[in-house]
Amino acid sequence: MLYFRMLLMMGVSLFTVRVVLDTLGIVDYGLYNVVGGVVTMFSFISGTMASASQRFFAFEIGRKDYDQLKKTFSITMTIYFMIAVIILLLAETLGLWFLNNKMTIPPERMEASHWVYQFSILSFMMTMFTIPYNASIIAHEKMNVYAWVSIIEVSLKLLIVYLLILFSFDKLKLYAVLMFAVTTIITFIYRTYSKRKFQECRYSFYWHNPLFLEIVGFSGWNLWGALASIIKNQGINILLNVFFNPIVNAARGIAYQVNGAIYQFVNNFTTAVNPQITKYYAAGEKKQMFNLVFRSSKFSYFLLFIISMPLLLETNFILSIWLKQVPEFTILFTRLVIINGLVDSISSSLITSALATGKIKKYQMVVGGTMLLNLPVSYLFLKLGFASEVTMYIAIIIAVVNLFFRLFMLKSMIQFPLKYFISEVLIKIVSSSLLAYIIPFWLTIKMTDNFQRFAIVFLCGLFTSAIAIYITGLSSNDRMFFQRILREKINIRSHFKRQ
C-alpha cells in the first residue's frame, strides 16, 4: 500500500510542479517556496512533538500498556495546544517583521506574499493538531490507512492544478488558499478515523507532572535536532533569497521537489520499519533491533540509489522534458540535493534507534550542533563571494560528518556494533555504488544527449545496480532472504495457474 501510494504521489508531484511552475511563473514559484519557508521555520516545534509522539506511542504499545498510552495521548494534545499559541504569536510578530523587512520580494508581489504567509500559518496550525492522530496510525502500523489518506491528498493537489488553470484570480493567492483547503480536508479525515478506531485518541484533559516533564524533556532535546534540520533547509533557502533572488529559490525548490518525490521510496520503507525498532528496544530485544537497523539502513540507501542513478546522470535531459522552463542553477542543485539525500538515507534508522532510548541529550547536542553549522558556514562562504551552490557542498560534507557522529554516539548509548555496521553496511554501500556506476557513466560520455541515450542509460543502470547490489551490497543472509521470497512468489504464481 505504501509503495502504491508512493508511485501515485511521485507522479502527481512531478506533474504538478511542472504545471504550477508554468502557471505561477519562476518568480512567484520562488516566492511561494521562500515565503512558505518562513512559516516552516516555526513548524520545527510541531515536528519535534511528532517524533516524540510516535516514540512514546510505539514504546507503550511495545510494553502493551494501553492505559498509559491513553494518558500519553491526552497530555500530548494538551502540550500541542500550548505550542500552537506560542507559534501563532511568533509567526505574527517576528515572522511578519522578517517578511516585510528582510526578504527580497518585488514590491508588486508583496500583497500576494502576505496571502501566502497567512494561509501558510493557517495550514500549519491545521497540520499540527493532526500529528498526534497521524502518529497513532503509524505506531499501530496501520499503513494501509496512512497510504489511502495520502492518495486522497495527492488527488486533491492534482485538482488544484486544474483549478489554477480554470480561474483567472491571482494565481499565487489562489494557490495558497487551495493548499490550505487541502490541509483542512486531510486533517478532518485523520482525526475522524483515529477517534473511531483507537481508544486512546479520544481526548480528555489529563495532567501528570512526571509524564509532562518526560515528554517535554525528550522533546526539548529533540527540538534542538529539529531546529538544526529546519535551519539546514529553510534557513538556507532564506539566506539564498537575501544574497541572490527568487529565481535561485525556484531552482532550489524544484531540486527539493525532485528529491522529495524519489525520497518517498525511502520514507515508505522507514515509516513501516521505525515503529518496530522502537518496539524491539522497549521489549529489550536488542539483537533483533540491530539486525533491523542494519538492513533498513542498507535497503533505504539502495532504494534511493536505484531511482536516483538516471536522475544524476541524465539530469539535463529529464528536466528539459519535464519542465517547460528550467530556471538557472536547477540542474546542479538537483544533483547535489540527491547526493545529500543518499547520505541522509543511511541515517534514518540510526536516528530512530537513538530516539527509542529516550536519553538523547548528549546525542542531540553533538549531532544537532554539527548540523546547525550549515547556516553560519554557508553565510561565511556566501559573504566571501562564493556561488549559491556552495551551500549544498557544505550540507553534503556536514551530512557525512554527522553520519559518523551518530554511529559513535549509538555505540556509547546502546552498545551499537560500530565496526560491524561499517563493514556490513557502509563498505558494501560504497563498493556496490562505484561498481554500478562504471558502465552507465561511460555511456553518458560516449553517446549524444538524446532520448536514445537516456533509455539505454536508464536500462543499463537498473541492470548494473541490481547486479552490483546483489553481489557486493547484500550479505549471504540477505541473499538467502531474497531467494526465499522469489521462490515463494514463483510457487504462488504456479499454484494460481494450476487453478
Check residue 424 and give its pLDDT. Answer: 86
Burial class, 388, CB count within 10 angstroms (exposed 0-12 / middle 13-18 / buried 19+) = buried
Find cell 553518458 and name the residue. 444
- Candidates 94, 65, 78, 58; CA nearest to 275 is 58
What's the Cα-to-Cα distance from 375 to each of 13, 70, 99, 244, 318, rounded to whole Å? 28, 40, 19, 16, 31
What number is the average pLDDT over the span 329-345?
85
Quick check: 452 pLDDT over 80?
Answer: yes
Residue whose grid cell is 502500523: 141
Question: Cα Rg for the chain, rounded, in angstroms?
Answer: 23
Residue 168, Cβ neighbours under 10 Å: how many?
A: 7
The region of weakest confidence among 4-13, 210-219, 490-499 is: 490-499
pLDDT cut 90: percent of the chain above it: 1
> What pLDDT, on a 0 to 100 scale, did the predictor assign at position 397?
92
pLDDT tens digits, one per residue of 272-292: 777 788 778 777 788 888 888
Torsion of CA 468, 473, 477, 478, to 10 degrees: -80
3-state helix, strand, coil in the chain (%, to 5): 90, 0, 10
Q: Which residue has the cell 532504494?
A: 303
The residue behind cell 535497503 is 299
> What number of other Cβ atoms are within 10 A of residue 119's Cβ?
21
DSSP secondary structure letters along 23-79: HH-HHHHHHHHHHHHHHHHHTHHHHHHHHHHHHHHHHHHHHT-HHHHHHHHHHHHHH
In Å, how far from its chain's centre is CA 432? 25
The predicted structure's pLDDT at residue 32: 62
Query: What average pLDDT score do residues 40-51 get?
Result: 58
Cell output for 405:
557522529
User: Phi and psi at residue 9, in whole multiples of 5°?
Assistant: -65, -40
Mean pLDDT of 46-68: 67
Burial code of 126-147, b = ≥16 C-beta within 10 A, e = fewer?
bbbbbbbbbbbbbbbbbbebbb
For range 40-55, the mean pLDDT: 61
Give the model confidence (pLDDT) of 251-270 as tens digits. 777 777 777 777 766 776 77
Contact yes or no for 184/47 (Cβ under 8 A) = no
Q: Is a pLDDT exceeding 80 seen at residue 440?
A: yes
- Per the confidence metrics, is the pTM higher than 0.75? no
Specify the higher pLDDT residue, 261 or 123: 123
Show the cell assigned to 49. 512533538
Q: What is the mean pLDDT of residues 440-462?
A: 86
Report pLDDT digits (tens) over 294-316.
888 888 888 888 888 888 888 88
Give the pLDDT score at 192. 84
Average pLDDT over residues 1-19: 63
Q: Measured between alpha carbons, how far is 116 from 137 in angstroms, rounded to an integer?
A: 30
Distances in Å between the alpha carbon of 190 and those of 59, 150, 153, 201? 21, 10, 11, 11
Q: CA 397 to CA 78: how far, in whole Å? A: 39
Percent of the chain with pLDDT over 70: 78
Residue pLDDT, tens place only, 367-417: 878 888 888 898 899 888 888 888 889 989 998 998 998 888 888 888 888
